[in-house]
Amino acid sequence: MKLTFVRPNLFDGRSFDAMHPLCFAILKSLTPADVTTAFYDERLEYIPLDDPTDLVAMTVETYTARRAYQIANGYRSRGVPVVIGGYHPTFLPDEALQFADSVVIGDAEGVWPQVVEDARNGRLQRIYRQDDFPPLAGTRPDRRIFKGKRYAPCTLVQYGRGCKYNCNFCSIRAFYGTVLRQRPIGEVIDEIKRSRSRAIFLVDDNIFVDIPKAKELFEALIPLRISWSCQVSIDIAHDSALVQLMARSGCINALIGFESLNPKNLAQMRKAWNLKFSDYQTSIKVFQDAGIMIYGTFLFGYDHDTVDAFDEAVDFAIGNKFYLANFNPLTPTPGADLYRQMEDEKRLIFDRWWLDPNFRYGHATFHPRGMTADELTAGCLRARMRFNTYGSLLRRAWAPRTNLRSPFRFGVFLLSNLISKREIMSKQGRQLGSAAPLEQDAACGLALARRPATAKPQAVGVSP
Ligand code: B12
Ligand code: SF4
Q: Cα angle vertex 194, ends 188, 196, to 5°?
A: 110
Strand partners, 129: 105
Q: Which of 138-142, 362-366, 410-414, 449-453 has the lowest mean pLDDT?
A: 449-453
Average pLDDT, the chain: 92
Measured from the Cα of 112, ligand 1's closest atom is 47
Confidence at 206, pLDDT banded by 50, 70, 90: confident
pLDDT of residue 309: 98
Give the residue among 209, 56, 154, 70 at the shortest CA–CA distance from 416.
Answer: 154
pLDDT at 415 over 60: yes
Cα 216 to averaged position of ligand 1 atoms, centre (Å): 26
Q: Which residue, judged by its Cα, is nearest atom 1 of ligand 2?
A: 165
Q: Burial level of 347, CB count in 10 A (0-12/13-18/19+)?
A: middle
End-to-end CA distance of the chain: 27
pLDDT at 452 over 60: no
What is the tens place of the pLDDT at every residue in 25-54?
999 999 999 999 999 999 999 999 999 999
Cα 461 to averaged position of ligand 2 atoms, centre (Å): 38
pLDDT of residue 231: 95
Cα 206 to averaged position of ligand 2 atoms, centre (Å): 7
Q: Which ligand is nearest to the CA of 176?
A: 1
Asked if residues 157 and 182 have their Cβ atoms less than 8 Å apart, the reply is: no
pLDDT of residue 443: 44
Length of the chain: 464
Domains of the chain: 2-134+435-446 (3.40.50.280), 153-427 (3.20.20.70)
Cα 53 to averaged position of ligand 2 atoms, centre (Å): 38
Q: Which residues line ligand 2 (CB under 6 A)?
A: 163, 165-167, 170, 172-173, 205-206, 233, 257
Cα 447 to averaged position of ligand 2 atoms, centre (Å): 37
Q: Which residue, judged by its Cα, is nearest atom 8 of ligand 2?
A: 170
pLDDT of residue 13: 82
Q: With the CA atoms of 95, 100, 104 and 109 taken in that order, what torsion angle do they form, in degrees rounded to the nearest 10?
A: -150
Confidence at 423, pLDDT banded by 50, 70, 90: confident
pLDDT of residue 208: 87
pLDDT of residue 446: 42
- pLDDT, mean of residues 289-317: 98
Q: Burial level of 224, CB count in 10 A (0-12/13-18/19+)?
A: middle
| Residue 64 CB–ligand 1 contact under 6 Å | yes
Give the residue among 75, 118, 64, 63 at the shortest CA–CA distance from 100.
Answer: 75
What is the tens place of the pLDDT at every residue in 168-202?
999 999 999 999 999 999 999 999 999 999 999 99
Q: How far is 298 from 329, CA to CA, in rounded Å?
A: 9
What is the tens place of the pLDDT at every residue in 216-231?
999 999 999 999 999 9
What is the tens place of the pLDDT at every residue in 75-131?
999 999 999 999 999 999 999 999 999 999 999 999 999 999 999 999 999 999 988
Q: How far is 151 from 14, CA to CA, in rounded Å?
A: 12
Q: How far is 263 from 265, CA to CA, in rounded Å?
A: 5
- pLDDT, mean of residues 440-457: 37
Q: Which ligand is nearest to the CA of 26?
A: 1
Cα 200 to averaged position of ligand 2 atoms, centre (Å): 21
Measured from the Cα of 161, ligand 1's closest atom is 57
pLDDT at 238 over 90: yes
